[in-house]
Amino acid sequence: MRERPEGFIPAEIGIMLERLTEGAPVVILDLEWNQGSFYTNPRIPHEIIEIGACRIDAEGQIGEKFSRTVKPQIYRQIDRHIQKVTGITQEELDRGEHFSEVWKDFIRFAENARLVTWGRDDFPVLRRNVEFVQARMPFEPPIDAQLLFGSLFLNSSTHQMNLHSALEEMKITSEIPAHRAVYDAEATALLLPRIDEKLRQLNEADLGSLKAILDREKRIALAKVMTFPTSYTSFAEAIMDRRVTHFRCPVCGSRANFAVPWFDAGKEKFEAVARCHSHGYLQGNMHLKKSAKGKVVISQRFSQANEEQVKTIKNKYRAFKMIPENKRHHRLEMRI
């Protein structure tokens, strides 16, 4: 048996999960966030107000914990619905620390770890909050324990069972109270040994398809999503603007070269394929709509793409090219 540095996934819970985390220690992360009750800042629609986490120690038990409240800078008043769900009060928020401080400490807490979350919502929110304060993001997208649980116990990777129902399903009773970030992290920890046990029973083929699902999730999590208003009143004008059509890699931010230029895929939706030197094929999706004032608003999504996705877009582009030019609704064909 090879030696493991302290804190690495112990054999008793880790034989299979380890193959998914490549031997890295596990930190389970859970976030709570606030939102605007009356307005939304498109750069940060959800503002983190609590980071909770726990390490899995060398015995497979819940180890060191992390629980900090963040004082929001954008949505300073707690939204009524959020207060109801999280139980976090305005007084607690007012006593919270700045996100940058808490994030710095969390990075130290979770150094070199592979994050695990319940559900796929936390990471995109975390990324936006980190970008908002221009901090660094040293973590890969988390492994989604909810997805593993759904695939392994409910025969569906898309069945999003809530954490406490999952505990009930497994007949795990715990004294852990609901709905604070750190408690949810601990409750997720209770499910890991069961998930791992089930992972061990998978044959190679099933493990392979589960890994493919996790890969796809990772690409989705690394996607860059943004929405921004323009001063244009017509779609045709908006999509001629270089600031709208330029394509950057969502992972490293470098400029990507088009393999398929932006083209009209129907219903004010545009698609494109580009390549990054370091991250391979990328896909771009863009949706145009009009604001109440009649100005064009652009929503874009850039993500890594696999061969199959690239092939699908190429086929759509071919079909688009078959449409006679005067019948194409909008013409967006950049020279590449």
Sign, CA dihedral 220-310-208-3, equals negative
Give Dmax over CA atoms of the chain in angstroms: 69
Q: Is 223 in the site for Zn ion (CB under 5 A)?
A: no
Strands 269-276 and 26-34, bridge-based pairing: unpaired
Q: How many CA atoms lie within 13 A of 302 on its CB side?
A: 27
**One-letter-per-residue 3-state SS of 275-306:** EECCCEEEEEEEEEEECCCCCEEEEEEEEECC
Min. distance of Cβ 260 from Zn ion in angstroms? 18
Of 54-62, 145-153, 270-278, 321-329, the segment contacting Zn ion by CB under 5 A is 270-278
Can you tell me whether residue 230 is helix, strand or coil?
coil
Of 127-135, 196-204, 228-236, 273-281, the segment contacting Zn ion by CB under 5 A is 273-281
Residue closer to Zn ion (CB basis): 71 or 218: 218
Min. distance of Cβ 272 from Zn ion in angstroms? 15
The residue at minimum Cβ distance from Zn ion is 249
Task: Give the C-alpha separation, 301 to 46, whole Å.
Answer: 18
Q: Is 158 in the site for Zn ion (CB under 5 A)?
A: no
Min. distance of Cβ 278 from Zn ion in angstroms? 4
DSSP state letter for 335: -
Residue closer to Zn ion (CB basis): 248 or 330: 248
Q: Is 279 in the site for Zn ion (CB under 5 A)?
A: yes
Among 13, 44, 239, 276, binds Zn ion (CB under 5 A): 276
**One-letter-per-residue 3-state SS of 164-204:** HHHHHHCCCCCCCCCCCHHHHHHHHHHHHHHHHHHHHHCCH
Min. distance of Cβ 314 from Zn ion in angstroms? 20
Q: How many CA atoms lie within 13 A of 20 on its CB side?
A: 28
Min. distance of Cβ 240 from Zn ion in angstroms? 26
Residue 174 φ then ψ, to 5°: -140, 155
Tokens describing residue 257: 């070269």
Of 107-115, 155-163, 245-253, 303-311, the segment contacting Zn ion by CB under 5 A is 245-253
Instruction: Identify residue 133 by its one-letter amino acid code.
Output: V
Q: Is 189 in the site for Zn ion (CB under 5 A)?
A: no
Of 17-25, 91-99, 177-185, 271-279, the segment contacting Zn ion by CB under 5 A is 271-279
Min. distance of Cβ 131 from Zn ion in angstroms? 16
Size of the site for Zn ion (CB under 5 A): 6
Of 90-98, 205-213, 277-285, 306-314, the segment contacting Zn ion by CB under 5 A is 277-285
Among 158, 173, 278, 326, binds Zn ion (CB under 5 A): 278
Cross-strand bridge partners of residue 276: 280
Min. distance of Cβ 303 from Zn ion in angstroms? 12
Min. distance of Cβ 226 from Zn ion in angstroms? 17
Residue closer to Zn ion (CB basis): 255 or 289: 255
DSSP string, 99-128: HHHHHHHHHHHTTTPEEEESSSSHHHHHHH
Residue closer to Zn ion (CB basis): 48 or 251: 251
Nearest alpha-carbon partner for 102 in 142, 28, 49, 47 = 49
Among 249, 274, 297, 310, binds Zn ion (CB under 5 A): 249
Among 9, 251, 260, 332, binds Zn ion (CB under 5 A): 251
Q: Calculate the CA dihedral of residues 67, 73, 79, 81 and round it to 10 degrees.
A: -40
Rule CB under 5 A: which residues touch Zn ion?
Answer: 249, 251-252, 276, 278-279
